[in-house]
């Protein structure tokens, strides 16, 4: 899937939905923070990158550092064939801690292993570098930021002191914002259901 959307693109689309063509209630800095929160939160909603990590076992070495951003290991396989004729079988006896694989024993052979990983997306730090979130999935980021922005607006209205020097718009009430928030949440949750990765079925070893 292609990834060409920038942080600036996300902000523009968020402002389209908020009907705020230029910064008014929400500054660019505020929206950037919300974009960061949303991108970081995608793996908790089962939306993530998938990566195949391969390495060779090292005799007597029990720990192996994983790529940065690894959130979960789906499974690990071991090549019990050759490089030209691989024979991948289930690899057991491991755990994950502090972004590393830890084995329960010391390897006696240097077989190749491969791990199927869930990787978090990279948090954007500028407005010109394309996110590594696929373009179609960026719609989730947009709606997630809209939801967070409405929650910020609700918090603003709850603080009566905010209106000492700024006239409160006649049409804007907590009920109105809660209605907008509910509609945004529905679109957001529908998109998550459409793009979330369903966990792969696994065989359970009831013996070992």
Instruction: Characterize 112-138 residue by residue with b for buried, 16 or more Cβ atoms within 10 angstroms of its Cβ, and e for exposed.
Output: bbbbebbbbbeebeeeeeebbbbeebb
Confidence of residue 208 (pLDDT cuts 50, 70, 90): very low
Select from 17, 57, 19, 24 the least CA-distant residue to 141: 17
Element (DSSP H or E) covering residue 102: strand 100-103
Gap between the Cα atoms of 92 and 73, Å rounded: 12
Q: Is the pLDDT of residue 101 over 60?
A: yes
Note the CATH architecture for domain 49-119.
Answer: Sandwich (2.60)
pLDDT of residue 171: 66
Looking only at the bridges linking them, the beta strands covering 70-79 and 63-65 are unpaired
Task: Pinpoint the residues of the chain covered by CATH 2.60.40.
Answer: 49-119
Residue 131 confidence (pLDDT) above 80? yes
Task: Give 149-199 pLDDT, tens digit per residue.
Answer: 999 888 877 766 555 545 556 667 778 888 889 999 999 999 999 998 765
User: 207: left (phi > 0), else alpha (psi -120 to 50), else beta?
Assistant: alpha
The structure's pTM equals: 0.78
Q: Chain-wide mean pLDDT for the chain?
A: 87
């Amino acid at each position: 899937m292609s990834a060409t959307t920038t942080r600036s693109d996300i902000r523009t689309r968020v402002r389209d939905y908020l009907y705020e063509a230029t910064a008014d209630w929400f500054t660019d800095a505020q929206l950037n923070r919300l974009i960061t929160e949303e991108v970081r939160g995608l793996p908790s909603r089962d939306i993530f990158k998938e990566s195949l990590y391969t390495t060779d076992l090292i005799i007597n070495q029990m720990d192996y550092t994983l790529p940065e951003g690894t959130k979960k290991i789906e499974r690990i396989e071991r090549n019990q064939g050759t490089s030209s004729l691989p024979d991948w079988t289930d690899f057991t006896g491991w755990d994950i801690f502090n972004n590393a694989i830890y084995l329960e024993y010391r390897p006696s052979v240097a077989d190749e292993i491969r791990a199927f990983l869930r990787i978090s997306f990279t948090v954007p730090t500028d407005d010109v570098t394309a996110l590594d979130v696929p373009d179609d999935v960026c719609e989730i980021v947009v709606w997630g930021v809209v939801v967070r922005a409405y929650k910020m607006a609700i918090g603003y209205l709850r603080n009566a002191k905010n209106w000492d020097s700024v006239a409160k718009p006649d049409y804007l009430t907590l009920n109105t914002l809660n209605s907008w928030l509910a509609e945004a949440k529905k679109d957001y949750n529908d998109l998550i259901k459409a793009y979330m990765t369903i966990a792969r079925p696994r065989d359970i070893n009831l013996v070992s």
